[in-house]
Amino acid sequence: MKIAVLPGDGIGTEIVAEAVKVLNALDLKFEMETAPVGGAAYEAAGHPLPESTLKLAQEADAILFGAVGDWKYDRLDRPLRPEQAILGLRKAMGLFANFRPAICYEQLTHASSLKPELVAGLDILIIRELTGDIYFGQPRGRRIATDGHFPGAEEAFDTMRYSRPEIERIAHVAFQAAQKRSKRVTSVDKANVLETFQLWKDVMTEVGQQYPDVALDHMYVDNAAMQLVKEPKKFDVLVTGNMFGDILSDEASMLTGSIGMLPSASLNSKGQGLYEPSHGSAPDIAGKGIANPLATILSAAMMLRFSLQQPEAADRIENAVKAVLAQGLRTGDIYSEGTTKVNTVQMGDAVVKALG
Ligand code: IPM
Ligand code: MN
């Protein structure tokens, strides 16, 4: 089992170290190789996604990814910005299916931004399309406007686009995921305004007819954003495009207590996967040793389940995470009165100990 380990920037190195520690504590044989990515790779090799890093990732069974980005790179042009490393990996490897489970653990119902009764038992699976939409649509750029409200002025533009096969394949992923859960899919769109999401809605409906056991409903993204904080438990599988999925998954994270709890998996059609916490590089707390490693540790569990066919090991990690929460251990982001504050390394150590 070959794992490419790409820690990246900011807290990326600290949290990935804890996930690697947990993986090494399982009695399994992994071949792990580490490579620079993001701002770290820009410093070392002049590019956020060096050829050698991409090659290592492409040849691995799975990628464990930390986070990329730092304010100090804000001045860089787009092709060199750290974020291009993760976008480039998603695109080059065709990692189109992004799973972002938002689970509120029993012990964290009071850490949620919502009233405990609204989130107790919450278990939503956000499925975000990850290689299309306005993130990658061409053309895009800057130019001098020749029409519009201010002809002659500088303008910038991006293109939102989805093809039928792109929507079909993510629709199948969502319906098949729902078959293993409560058999409900909510497709989130903006079909009342956008052509792109009119096609999205049509294709979702068509593909849905192949899954008569799954109930499909459609919701506009603005309404979905509201329903997520009003009555989040109404959702089970939520499928949406790249940009709406980016925004809604951050929103959903606050229902679970902290974005520091949210793992993710990004899969391609070959079964390869990239596993990363849903949060970013958090440069404001980098190097302080206080980041929550649980999202990354839970991402490693998803890796064992989805790409490495080790479901028992995945269960062991997930149960260990529940156990440390039950012991009352908390990093700062999920701390509340009466619990025990621990740092990044102590949290990783506690998970290792709880593996049993
Ligand atoms: C995410 C991140 C990325 C995204 C950034 C870092 C490019 O916010 O994975 O959600 O927008 O997809
Ligand atoms: Mn995001």
Intervals of CATH 3.40.718.10 along the chain: 1-96+264-356, 123-254
Q: What is the chain's alpha carbon radius of gyration, rounded to the nearest angstrom? A: 20
CB atoms within 10 A of CB 183: 14
Answer yes or no: 333 catalytic.
no
Active-site residue, selected from the candidate residues 115, 222, 234, 315: 222
Q: In whole angstroms, what is the distance from residue 263 CA to residue 25 CA?
A: 20
Answer yes or no: 335 catalytic.
no
Answer yes or no: 61 catalytic.
no
CB atoms within 10 A of CB 7: 26
Q: Tens digits of per-residue pLDDT, 133-148?
A: 999 999 999 999 999 9
- The whole-number pLDDT of residue 201 equals 98
Nearest ligand atom owner, CA of 12: 1
> For the chain, what's the residue count?
356
CB atoms within 10 A of CB 226: 12
State which H helix or E strand residue 293 sits in. Answer: none
Answer yes or no: 135 catalytic.
yes
* Global confidence as pTM: 0.95
Decide: 83 in ligand 1 pocket, CB within 6 A.
yes
Characterize the bridge pairing of strands 2-8 and 31-34. Answer: parallel
Atom in ligand 1 nearest the alpha carbon of residue 249: 10
Nearest to 115 by CA among 229, 234, 235: 229
Task: List, in sequence order, every residue forming a beta bridge with 117; answer none if it has no partner.
Answer: none
Query: For ligand 1, atom 4, which residue shows the shortest CA distance?
Result: 246
Q: Tens digits of per-residue pLDDT, 296-322?
A: 999 999 999 999 999 999 999 999 999
CA distances (Å), 125 to each of 37, 99, 107, 248, 329, in order? Answer: 28, 7, 20, 11, 26
Decide: 86 in ligand 1 pocket, CB within 6 A.
yes
Q: Is the pLDDT of residue 356 over 90?
A: no
Q: Is the pLDDT of residue 112 over 90?
A: no
Decide: 259 in ligand 1 pocket, CB within 6 A.
no
Instruction: Please give the share of the chain, as a percent, with pLDDT higher than 90.
Output: 93
Q: Which CATH architecture has domain 1-96+264-356?
A: 3-Layer(aba) Sandwich (3.40)
| 283, 69 contact by CB (below 8 A) | yes
For residue 340, which phi and psi values (nearest 5 degrees)? -105, 120
Decide: 130 in ligand 1 pocket, CB within 6 A.
no
Which tokens go with 40? 């770290």
Ligand 2 centroid distance, CA of 177 (Å): 22
For residue 31, which phi and psi values (nearest 5 degrees)? -105, 110
Instruction: Please give the share of the chain, as a percent, with pLDDT higher than 70.
Output: 100
Q: Tens digits of per-residue pLDDT, 245-287?
A: 999 999 999 999 889 999 999 999 998 999 999 999 999 999 9
Ligand 2 centroid distance, CA of 236 (Å): 20
| 328, 287 contact by CB (below 8 A) | no
Q: Tens digits of per-residue pLDDT, 183-220?
A: 999 999 999 999 999 999 999 999 999 999 999 999 99
Within 115-241, residue ranges assigned H as helices are 116-119, 164-179, 195-208, 221-230
Nearest ligand atom owner, CA of 69: 1
Fold category of 123-254 in CATH: Isopropylmalate Dehydrogenase (3.40.718)
Provide the phi-psi class of 186: left if phi over 0, else alpha when psi is between -120 and 50, else beta: beta
